[in-house]
A and B are shown apart, each in its own frame.
Chain A
Amino acid sequence: MAVPVEEAIAALSTFSLEDEQPEVQGPGLWVSTERGATESPIEYSDVSAYRLSLSEDTKALNQLNVLIQEGKDMASVLYTYRSCVKALPQLPDSMKQSQADLYLETYQVLDLEMSRLREIQRWQASAASKLAADMQRFSRPERRINGPTITHLWSMLKLLDVLVQLDHLKNAKASIPNDFSWYKRTFTQVSIQWQDTDSMREELDDLQIFLSTRWAILLNLHVEMFRVNNVEDILQVLIVFAVESLELDFALLFPERHILLRVLPVLVVLATSSEKDSESLYKRVKINRLINIFKNDPVIPAFPDLHLSPAAILKELSMYFQKFSSQARLLTLPAPHELPPREAQDYQRHYLIINHIGAIRAEHDDFTIRFASSMNQLLLLKSTDCADIEWSKEVKGSMYDVIVEGFQLLSRWTARIWEQCAWKFSRPCKDPVPLESHETSASFSDYEKVVRYNYSAEERKALVELVSYIKSVGSMMQRCDTLVADALWETIHAEVQDFVQNTLATMLKTTFRKKKDLSRILSDMRTLSADWMANTSKSEPELQSLQHGGEESKANFFYPRPVAPTAAQIHCLLFLIYEVVSGGNLRKPGGLFGNSGSEIPVNDLKQLETFFYKLSFFLHILDYTATVASLSDLGFLWFREFYLESSRVIQFPIECSLPWILVEYLLESQNAGLLESALMPFDIYNDSAQQALVVLKQRFLYDEIEAEVDHCFDIFVSKLCETIFTYYKSWAASELLDPSFLFALDNGDKYSVQPMRFSALLKLTRVKLLGRTIDLRSLIAERMNKLFRENLEFLFDRFESQDLCAIVELEKLVDILKHTHELLSKDVSIDSFSLIMNEMQESLSLVSFSSRLASQILSEMQSDFLPNFILCNTTQRFIRSSKVPLVPVQKPSVPHAKPNFYCGTEDLNSAHQSFARLHCGFFGIPHMFSIVRLLGSRSLPWLIRALLDHISNKVTTLEPMITGLQEALPKSIGLLPFDGGVTGCMRLVKEHLNWGKKTELKAEVLRGIKEIGSVLYWMGLLDMVLREVDTMHFMQTAPWLGFLPGVDGQILYSQDGGDSPIVNLFKSATATIVSNPSCPHPASFQTLSKQAEAADLLYKANMNTGSVLEYALAFTSAALDKYCSKWSNAPKTGFIDITTSKDFYRIYSGLQIGYLEETVQIQSNNHEELGDSVAWGGCTIIYLLGQQMHFELFDFSYQVLNVAEVEAVSVTQTHKTDKSPHFGQGWEALLEAMKKARRLNNHVFSMLKARCPLEEKTACAIKQSGAPLHRIKFENTVSAFETLPQKGA
Chain B
Amino acid sequence: MTEDNRFFDLGKTGLTRRTALKGLAAGAGLMAAPGFVRYSQAQSSAPIKIGFQAHRTGIGAAYGRWYEKTTNAAVKLINDAGGINGRPIEIIVEDDGTDPKRGAEVVGKFASQHKTDIVFGTLFSHVVVGSAPTAGELKIPYYVVSEGYHVASGKLNRWVFQPGITDVRAQVTSVAPWIAANIGKKVTMIYPDYAFGYDHRDYFAPAIKAQGGDVIAQIPIPPTESSFTKYLPQIPADTEVLYHVMVGPGVLTFVKELGEFYGSNKPQLFGFIDSLEAVDINSPGLEFLDGSHFWEGSPRYAQANDSEAQKAYRAAVGIDDNGASVGDAKDVSTAAHMFGCWETLYVIKKAMEDSGYKGPEDRAKLVEATEALTEFKEGPEHPQGDKIFNGKIHQVFGHQNISKVEGGKLKVVHRTSIEDGMYEPEADYTTQPL
User: A and B bound?
Assistant: no
> Residues on A close to B: CB < 8 A?
none
> Residues on B close to A: CB < 8 A?
none
